[in-house]
Amino acid sequence: MSGASGARSALGFLTVVGGARAPSPCALPWFPVVGAGLGATLGLVWVAAAHLWPAPVAAAVVIAVDLALTGLLHVDGLADSGDGLLPHLDRLRRLAVMREPDVGAFGTAVVVTVLVLRFAALGASAASAPLLAGLWCLSRSVMALAIATLRYARPEGLASGFARSGGVLAGGTGLVAAAGLAAWWRPGPGLAAVGGGLLGAGAVLLLAERRLGGYTGDVLGAAGMVAETLGLLVAAARW
């Protein structure tokens, strides 16, 4: 019963499917599964769109569907993280800025840059469901590992509802699955894409650790978005 409840909680928290759900202690092990499923769905949309439209249009469709399915949750986290982590502020002011509903110059610049890079990388690559399944699985696996191993930067908050237990196993298994899915696309480039995405997410989490003293829900979203985007960029390279 807890497994089904955890799956519904993870799906409802990470996507708009099934209605909004608060963080649940049993949701964390399902993060990589939801990520892989979301990526596979987007990959199928990509393949279908590539048969109907030129590559740039297909890329835009994939990005739009991703934003719709996630309810812009991770884009919001990316914007808030840009405003909180990049300016010269003290720790408490950074956390306060990240709670504010408006978006500043840093957040706007980061979101625009990431979306443009995603659009360019998708438009320059051949449509592939396994590639997106692997990279989206990677991003949610990193979230699970961060929750299980890093400190929460606030005394309370949305992401504090997740239990740390099970996150390391789920995240580690998810990374292996992500590598396998990406390698199914193309062994060498696929593994390189996963490695690039992992480095990008790690950089975001390290910056948050130094400037906030840990992670927040916004930081998790930013780390996931950066992981996916750098993975796509590496995959789009001239191999």
Read off the pLDDT of residues 74-108 as tens digits, 9 standing for 90 and up.
999 999 999 999 999 999 999 999 999 999 999 99
Each residue of 17-58: pLDDT tens digit?
Answer: 876 666 677 888 999 999 999 999 999 999 999 999 999 999
Question: Can you give the pLDDT at residue 205?
Answer: 98
C-alpha–C-alpha distance, residues 154 and 101, integer Å:
17
Residue showing tokens 């990049």: 86
Query: With 0-12 CB in 10 A as exposed, 13-18 as middle and 19+ as buried, what is 140?
Result: buried
**pLDDT at residue 1 above 60?**
no
C-alpha–C-alpha distance, residues 4 and 194, integer Å:
29
Question: Can you give the pLDDT at residue 158?
Answer: 61
Residues contacting residue 203 through CB under 8 Å, at least 6 positions apart: 226
Domain count, the chain: 1
Question: Can you give the pLDDT at residue 154?
Answer: 87
**pLDDT at residue 4 above 80?**
no
Question: Can you give the pLDDT at residue 187?
Answer: 97
Question: Can you give the pLDDT at residue 8?
Answer: 87
Question: Can you give the pLDDT at residue 20?
Answer: 65
Record the pTM: 0.95
Mean pLDDT of the chain: 93
Please report the sign of the dihedral spanned by the C-alpha atoms of residue 184, residue 187, residue 191, residue 196: negative
Which range (10-14, 53-57, 163-167, 178-182) has the least confidence?
A: 163-167
| Domain coverage including residue 189 | 2-235
